[in-house]
Structures are given as C-alpha cells and as structure tokens.
Amino acid sequence: MHKDEFHLKFFMCVIQSRQLVRTPQRTAGEASTSSMLIPKPPPKTDILKSLDTMDDPDTVGSIPVFKTEWIMTHEEHHAAKTLGIGKAIAVLTSGGDAQGMNAAVRAVVRVGIFTGARVFFVHEGYQGLVDGGDHIKEATWESVSMMLQLGGTVIGSARCKDFREREGRLRAAYNLVKRGITNLCVIGGDGSLTGADTFRSEWSDLLSDLQKAGKITDEEATKSSYLNIVGLVGSIDNDFCGTDMTIGTDSALHRIMEIVDAITTTAQSHQRTFVLEVMGRHCGYLALVTSLSCGADWVFIPECPPDDDWEEHLCRRLSETRTRGSRLNIIIVAEGAIDKNGKPITSEDIKNLVVKRLGYDTRVTVLGHVQRGGTPSAFDRILVSHWAVWPSCLETLNLVVLPPQVETVAVLPPQTKDVTKAMDEKKFDEALKLRGRSFMNNWEVYKLLAHVRPPVSKSGSHTVAVMNVGAPAAGMNAAVRSTVRIGLIQGNRVLVVHDGFEGLAKGQIEEAGWSYVGGWTGQGGSKLGTKRTLPKKSFEQISANITKFNIQGLVIIGGFEAYTGGLELMEGRKQFDELCIPFVVIPATVSNNVPGSDFSVGADTALNTICTTCDRIKQSAAGTKRRVFIIETMGGYCGYLATMAGLAAGADAAYIFEEPFTIRDLQANVEHLVQKMKTTVKRGLVLRNEKCNENYTTDFIFNLYSEEGKGIFDSRKNVLGHMQQGGSPTPFDRNFATKMGAKAMNWMSGKIKESYRNGRIFANTPDSGCVLGMRKRALVFQPVAELKDQTDFEHRIPKEQWWLKLRPILKILAKYEIDLDTSDHAHLEHITRKRSGEAAV
C-alpha cells in the first residue's frame, strides 16, 4: 500500500451492541482526506407507565459504565508505547469554558507523550490556531501537573471571528502544516465543533491553496495530506445532541446544588419562596436535574413550556405545599424558559405573580457565571481522562479505538440544531424527543413528583414498607422520599421501618404521609436509621410484624447487607409463609460492591469527598515539596473508591485487593517516586484501599516509603475514615436515588398485583425478590438468587467489576511504563461508509 493511501485509510469506529465496527475513511479519490470524531458516553413516559420504560439514570456524577475493549494484534500490543513516534497532536479549548477542560488537556498531553508523539498546546482557542507563533507551544509531562483540579481552562479560550472566515482557516492550516501537526483535539461546544467540522471538510482545498501560493512545499503538503480531528464536547448546558453528558455539566450541577442547599436554609427560616434562575438559554437540562435533585415545586424549561393556565396551576401548587406544612417554596427557571407562544418567562415575572396572587415573601436569585466556576467534580475528571486517552492514540495505527457505547461520527449530529428549529416552530414534543431518552425520563419523573396529587382515598390500596439496611450512604434519604411519594401517588399505604431488619423485628414501624419525607432529598446519612443486622435470626418476630402491619411488599435500600438479607428472606420462605411477599433491593453503599449493579447510591458522594481531601493534601504537598502522602480509603475489599479517586485526583498509585501486589511492586512504586522528585513535580499521592492486603497495611506502606525515601522525600499518612459516609449527597446521587425509588415502587405495585392469590399476597417465585441495578445502559431487576453465582461472599464483592479495566489509564497518566492494551478482544466487522445523503452508520 502506498504511504499516502495508508494515511488516508483512517478508520472510523461505531460501537453497536458492545461490538466495535470500523469503517474505512474515504480513499484518495474521494472528497475528503480528514476525519472527525465525537465521543459519546452511555445514555442516561400516561406517567406511571413511563417508569416501566425508564431504563437508565443520568450519568451525572459518576463515571459511566465503559467496558473498554481494545483490538490489537500481538505486534501492535507490543509496540503500543512507540505508536506516536514521528506524529504530532495539537489540543485546544474553545468557546465557553467548562470545568473538566483542564483534565481533558492533561490526559491528551500525557497519553500523547506516552505513545511517543509530540503534543502542542494551542493557547486562546481557534484564535491561537490562526495567529500561530507563541500561541502554539509544545507541551511537556510536567507542564500539565496540578491542572486536574483546576476549573476553567489554563490554555485559554476565546471567541474567534477570524476562524469563521476562510482566510482565517487558511492561516490555521498553515500553522499546523509548518509544525507537522496532523492530529487535532478540539474541546468545546456546538460552535467550536461546527468550526472543526468545517475545517475538516476544507482541509484538502486549504492545502492546495497554500501550495499554489508557495507557502508550503510539496513535501509538506504530502506529509500533511490528512487531518484527524477529535471533538470532546465541553459545555455546562449539556445542550449537544449525540452525547448524553458534556464536560462541565456535572460540575455545574454541583455549584447549583451548593447554592440551592444554602438558600433552602434561609428560605425555611423566613417562610420564603425563592425563584432561582440557572443557565440554559436553549437547553433546560441544568434546571430539570436541579429540580429533581432539590425537590423543587416547579421548573420552567424551554423544551417543555407550561400549559396556558400555568399561572393558576403554579399558585395552586405552591399553596398546597404550604398547606401540607412546608415552610418554603423553590422554583427553578432556565434562562431560556418560554411559554407555548414563545414569550419569555422570566424570574421576575414569576416573582411578581407569586407576590400578587399569594402574597408570599418572594426573592429572586440569578446564579450566573458562578455555575462555570470552581473545581471540577470527580465525574468530570474521570470522564474526560477516559475520553481524552483515545484522541492521543488517534493516528497511532490508523485505528481509533474508543470505549464501547461511544459512538463516533464523521459529521456533527444534526439533532442539536433540530432541537432549536423544533422549538422555534413550537413543536415542543418533538424537541423533547430530540433531547433523548434520558432527558425525557427526567421530565416524566419530575412531572410525577411535582404535578400529580396523591389520591385522598386508599381503598383497595396495598401496604408497602421501606427500610434502610447496612452502613449509611448519602442518597438513602432521597431514595426513601421518592419511594414513599410514588407509593402514595399510586394510592398505596406506605410504612417506614426504623433501624433496618432489627427495627422490623421489634416493630419500629410507622405510616408515612407526603410531608413525612419533605426536605429529605438533600440530607445525608439515613433519617430512618440503619443497621447491619441480618434477618435470619429474627424470622419469627419479622413474620409476626409483617402480619401485624399487613405488609405486602418490602423496599430495602442498602449495601451488601441488604443484598445478603434479601437472600436470607428468600431462604426463609421455606419455613415462613409470611415472608412470601415481593421485595426489591436498591443498592446504596459507598463501597459500590453490591452484585447486580455497576453503581450504588452514595458512591459518588464518597468519591467527591475523597477527591476534595486529596486536592487539599496535594496543595499542601506542593507548598512543602518532596512529600508523599499515603491515603487510606473505605470500600472493604472493593477497590472502586481507591481506583476512581486515584483517577480523579491524579494519584501515583492505588493499591486494591482485586489487583494483588507484592513487595517488588511496592519497591517499584517507591523508585518511581524517587525519579519523580528529580523533576519539577516534587510531590506524590498514593491511595490504599482499607483491605487491599492484610500484611501490607497503611502503616507498613507508610514506614516503607519513609525508610526508602530518606533524604529524597518524606512521607505522611491520612486515614479518611467515616467522613466518606457523610455529607450532603451529590447531584448524581440525589437524581439516581430519586429515579431508583420511583422505578422500584412502580415494580412493587405491579408485582403485588401479580402475587395476589385467594385473598392474600403469596410471592414465592425467584423473580419476586430482586436487586434493582444499573447494568450498562439500563436499570434492570435481577433475582437475588440468580446473583449468588456472581458473588464472592468471602470478600463481599462481585466476581466481575467493570471499573477494573480503567486502571491502566491511571497508570499511564502517572507515567508508568505499561502496555496500552487493556482488555479482551471484541469482534470487528468491516463495513462500508455511507456517502453523503445516505443514512449515517
């Protein structure tokens, strides 16, 4: 194959049902010799029925379930660390800044250097690409140190009018060609990626014009005959169709919720109504998820304008809330909110309405650019670190391999502009659908919790009990609130059980009304109380109380004890007919170790707590210099927190039980830090899962590092302890828990009806006792009995854990010499790319 043709055979990847499908790029005779990639993370309706089809929660606040599968021959695998030799990559940030952009830049630079490529910063976005000169500088490993936790974009961003003109793009092409840069990573929003796509489509013509003008030589034109572009979508509005989460969205939600929580306290004190305006000129995502996360009374978003009589409905809703005992009202407004006629609905309009009709003390708070500021969340750091690894390998073997469930497309998704067009034409149902299933699910759950009144009569209703089991986890209260209120909306009688199975045995049970769980969404810990006690020893007492309180279904929210307790209940059915009632387990534990679910409620909050602590510790180490910190995290035998915190905080090592290590590995880590101290980065961070090794304890590792690092660095240790279980839940945990509770109660109502026989509930089938878990893209119910074979009971962890395949990224970013191949092979199919005008692959 001719060299030029080889370069033009750039492969696009489309992920379909966890299989990687690669598509040859256009050949030399076709119109374009460049390519554009946009990574896409996993995605995240009559109203009650919609909960049955609500398959996935938002991937907000924790890393999506990426099961990375690399496709390489043995030779390619062996040569992974030299794949980028002779190549050059440029990275720029453009448009509005978003938290997480720096983490993306860091990952692109470090993995690019890891592969042997030269990596260049382009300062001030496209303007720097056009101006050239000192705006394009080569990056080093150390130059991206301490960027991970910084908000904004260190390399700068600017709105560039010059790049919108062909003359500006011609200058940009010249600057890339002269530096031998044939790979470009653009981190930005809709406008930035539209500009990148235009640049891509014109590349051949731009080279031709530069050649004719004598600005570049024939040899330079040949070497730069192709341009590979990867787009990483950075926008806090999450307004880009084709991806369910954009860089910065989760961090912006963190800023919003911090303010909402603070305002809630003052609003309660003075019985006020607060109208909070958040960003989202054309997209209501931030407003919608905020409303779910704080239990707002009302939300206004541009995609779903309120009915014509919304003023009457809103005032009635606020009045009913106060009548039920609430001391405050919260209304969330997206800055682009409109009515069905396209007329803007402003926060001042809403305030004036509430004051005039209800006479409530009402205040307006416009959050503004505070939503763009601050440190990125753990989710944004991990997401972009994962995304940005693949652009750095862009041209290595003329094969781009992106994480499964990541869709790559040759042109920008048209839906982004279609949404705006649909709203302009007042086709709001169409606009809502174009936003995607996740957005629609959020909207339906919001409508259910905020707009549907619970029935007055409970005739013919069922009785469902809700309880917490195991260690406390942030988000448990949000799950209880959602479960209780959805149950009441369905006409059920809902009981709450205090202190887990122990309380169920002792009869610590009471009925919950709508106001009972008011304000629970943002509260950490467990308001019901939770204990690790298992039910087996108290079957008689539990059976008696099930009969006494006429409990017909049980929702168990908790960790591994909740799962094992469910297994014991299944076994107990053989002896006690009273235990033959449906039950569902909602995983809630900081350890994220419940079989049947890739994520647990509470794990994201714990992860962010660890990251915040590590950021402060690193800052301390940066001041004192030549210092290494050993941090012990929770998790039992599960290394999820240590691994993910290591990725999010930029750790040099993370010791976990699932990846056994020896004294030689510890010695290698010490030597690695010794070499690191010879650079300009004179600090180290090591994480250790609390039960990773019974002999290599935190004290042992601390003493080892202290002894071996004498004269080079000193060591400190910190055991984070139970602070990881405390604090207010993150937006992800609030939203995840809310949707899990709604899904669980809807399933419970159906299962009770299904189990009604001869005037009583009798459920003894395997599928009447389930774990509700997140598996890849979906929320699924899995019988607890079927999960036994997937469980390592001795160590209280699932036998297979998806996040283990992210560990090589942690090591690469810490500058370890490892192989780039990270997992199993998947099947490749060759397919023909559609020509323009045909349907996209």
Residue 615 among known ligand-binding residues: no
**Residue 510 in marked binding region:** no
Burial class (CB in 10 A: 0-12, 13-18, 19+), 169: buried
DSSP 116-167: T-EEEEETTHHHHHHH-GGGEEE--SGGGTT-TT--S-TT-----SGGGSHH
Whether residue 372 is annotated as binding a ligand: the answer is: yes
| Residue 508 CB-density burial (10 A; 0-12 exposed, 13-18 middle, 19+ buried) | middle
355 is annotated as contributing to ligand binding: no
Contacts 24+ apart (CB under 8 A), 425-431: 426/340, 426/341, 426/342, 428/303, 428/304, 428/305, 428/340, 431/303
User: 230 with 341: CB under 8 angstroms?
Assistant: no
Would you say 532 is a known binding-site residue? yes
* Strand partners for 96: none
The response to whether 160 counts as a known ligand-binding position is yes
Q: Does 467 count as an annotated binding residue?
A: no
As beta bridge partners, residue 510 has 496
Q: Is 236 annotated as a binding residue?
A: yes
166 is in an annotated binding site: no
Is residue 237 annotated as involved in ligand binding?
Answer: yes
User: Is 157 labelled a binding residue?
Assistant: no
Asked whether residue 279 is marked as a ligand-binding residue, the answer is yes
Q: Is 239 annotated as a binding residue?
A: no
The token pair at 37 is 């990639």
> 18: annotated binding-site residue?
no
Consult the annotation and say whether 517 binds a ligand.
no
**DSSP string covering 558-617, please?**
ESHHHHHHHHHHHHHTTT-GGG-S-EEEEEB-TT---TT-S--BTHHHHHHHHHHHHHHH
Residue 838 assigned ligand-binding role: no
Residue 701, marked binder: no
CA dihedral for 346, 347, 351, 352, sign (positive or negative): negative
335 labeled binding residue: yes
Q: Is 491 annotated as a binding residue?
A: no
Rounded Cα distance between 156 and 137, Å, is: 13
What's the token pair of residue 229? Answer: 């572009």
- As a whole number of angstroms, the distance between CA 260 and CA 253 comes to 10
d(CA 155, CA 6): 33
For residue 612, the tally of other CB atoms under 10 A from its CB is 17
Question: Catalytic: which of 58, 197, 237, 297?
Answer: 237
Q: Catalytic annotation on 429?
A: no
Q: Phi-psi category of 773—alpha, beta or left, where left has phi over 0 and alpha has psi -120 to 50?
A: beta
Confirm or deny that 167 is annotated as ligand binding: no
770 within 8 A of 47, measured Cβ to Cβ: no
Backbone torsions φ then ψ of 720, nearest 5 degrees? -70, -35
Helix (H, G, I), strand (E, B) or coil at 710: coil
Is 1 annotated to bind a ligand? Reply is no
189 is in an annotated binding site: yes
Binding site annotation covers 580?
no
Flag whether 541 is marked binding: no
Q: Supply 546's token pair.
A: 């099930």
Is 56 part of any known ligand binding site?
Answer: no
- Tell me whether residue 690 is annotated as binding: yes
To the question of whether residue 634 is assigned a binding role by annotation, the answer is yes
Length in residues, the chain = 841
- 231-255 burial code (b ≥16 CB/10 A, e <16): bbbbbbbbbbbbbbbbbbbbbbbbb
User: Is 159 marked within a binding site?
Assistant: yes
Question: Per-residue DSSP letters for 39-60?
Answer: --PPP---HHHHHHT-------
Helix spans in 462-587 (H):
476-489, 500-506, 539-548, 560-572
d(CA 740, CA 736): 6
Q: Extract the annotated binding site for substrate.
A: 235-237, 272, 279-281, 335, 363, 369-372
Q: Which residues are marked as active site?
A: 237
Q: Extract the annotated binding site for ATP.
A: 96, 159-160, 189-192
Q: Extract the annotated binding site for Mg(2+).
A: 190
Q: Extract the annotated binding site.
A: 96, 159-160, 189-192, 235-237, 272, 279-281, 335, 363, 369-372, 532, 589-593, 627, 634-636, 690, 716, 722-725, 796
Q: Extract the annotated binding site for beta-D-fructose 2,6-bisphosphate.
A: 532, 589-593, 627, 634-636, 690, 716, 722-725, 796
